[in-house]
Structure 1
């Protein structure tokens, strides 16, 4: 890619850059990179044990897992990554490699490059569509799949006035985001996007860090309307344990998508509802979210077993 410096390209040829592809943007202290397709994918790593890979959603990055990584790393090797073009890159929105398919290929490449698989793979929102695509294309890399209000299942729902309205909500959020960015109003862009997903007044309650993360990634929001392409036949083939989670106040398209997935693959348990939480449940109620995830991980630690024997 043009964003890589010439020095990084030369080093890539000479040494393969297994963990340190250089970027033209600054890499924060404590953050590693791995070269995937010539792109320096950023991630934080902590702990040891079975690998747990955390994949953020729209307008997020590796930092959204601040309430998960320190806790999970007591028993697991935790990798919190930033997808291509998200922070620490400050993307201008111009590229042809920003897609669910590309992001899924990058996640799979990271798992393979670092020799991690099979992993416990967790994805939130748009990151859910990414990890579903990884699971579809590379089931051998998955030990368990954890879906937090995952996108990508909308195609499983029958077309009704209700589902059309839900699709319109997503398109409306992205359209307003683009309008606010075009007007140069980052604060309004963040506020309307956050409140649209989590309920009125949510933005005002967000911490300074939470707002910083979202504003740092506003440039990626212009392409956040893509949902991925997962079919019922894809879901039916999944043989690894799956955990689904939704917030008590999450948009209904997420729990309805999970319910549809269960009709495709009855071995998927009913979604766990995180109380006092909306779409950003891992931040809204981290104690309840972490308890559910850690209980699931503990159930599936150790040698691989047939999914039917562990659910």
Structure 2
């Protein structure tokens, strides 16, 4: 991994990586991830972009203070805005995955001047889903994946909770089949699970809110992904009428970590379109 750097944001020290000399590109990891999630992507994209990745508050290997701001999307969006300003990245191309999709939307709505383009792969918050049948289907699938995870967290079995989360997104036995480096990242982020499952309610971003975004926005999802991720992806693309929507055939929610080169190719392709 490239040399770690550190920035003080909102009273706390954040680790980040900054490689390449081109147009700024910021990669925002999801749950059970940290800046190492994007190592392969930064290596692929740094010949064209200034690639920045950082570990969001309460994730990763750092020690976070107990009296910090509440875990949740609003806090993570505030940190994102602070990082973009502190590193002088604006206007930046922001790429977000899963949990961080709502972080990206919230930050872009609050400070559109900081972002020249936003790409979100499979957001997971349904506040902008307007179709009742889709919302019901989302709720059923959310209970199916997150119900057992919550039970495991509540009983203190964080390893089982992580396995349920990863296998719930990638299929039975998915985590056990992955490389040691990926499993290490998951293990190093077990401590974030209780905060994640008890997080502050996310800001209610409506379909009308998303429609006000004026920078180019791209929404992508995998053709094999489960409803809890596919439904918000499709809804967001409908709400943002100028959005570029891409369905990637034959992949699911964990595709970004499965194929850094494939995902990076889509990041570059979407940057060439309006």
Same fold, TM exceeding 0.5? Answer: yes
Query: Which structure has more RCO (C-alpha within 8 Å, separation ≥ 6)?
Result: 2
Q: 1:45 to 1:288 in 2, by over 3 A?
A: same
Corresponding residue of 2:267: 293
Please list the CA deviations of residues 125-176 of structure 1 after superposition, one character each: whole Å capped at 9, or x if unmatched. 1111111111111111111101011223444243443232033235315403
Distance 1:223 1:174 in 2: 13
Corresponding residue of 1:61: 34
Query: How high is the TM-score relative to the length of structure 2?
Result: 0.89
Match of 1:221 among 176, 182, 193: 193
Distance 2:209 2:261 in 1: 32
Match of 2:100 among 90, 111, 127: 127
Give the alignment of 1:42-191 within 5 angstroms: 42-90=15-63, 96-160=69-133, 161-179=136-154, 182-183=156-157, 186=159, 188-191=160-163
Q: 1:270 to 1:296 in 2, by over 3 A?
A: closer
What is the CA distance between 1:29 and its match in structure 2? 7.8
Aligned residue-pair number: 269
Q: Is the 8 A contact 1:123 1:148 kept in 2?
A: yes
1:156 alignment partner, SS class: coil
What is the CA distance between 1:205 and its match in structure 2? 1.2
Corresponding residue of 2:214: 239
What is the CA distance between 1:241 and its match in structure 2? 1.1
Q: Larger Cα Rg: Structure 1 or Structure 2?
A: 1
What is the CA distance between 1:96 and its match in structure 2? 4.3
Tell me if 1:208 matches 2:183.
no
What is the CA distance between 1:77 and its match in structure 2? 0.3
1:54 alignment partner, SS class: strand
Please, which runs of 5 or more residues in structure 2 have no aligned partner? none
Corresponding residue of 1:192: 164
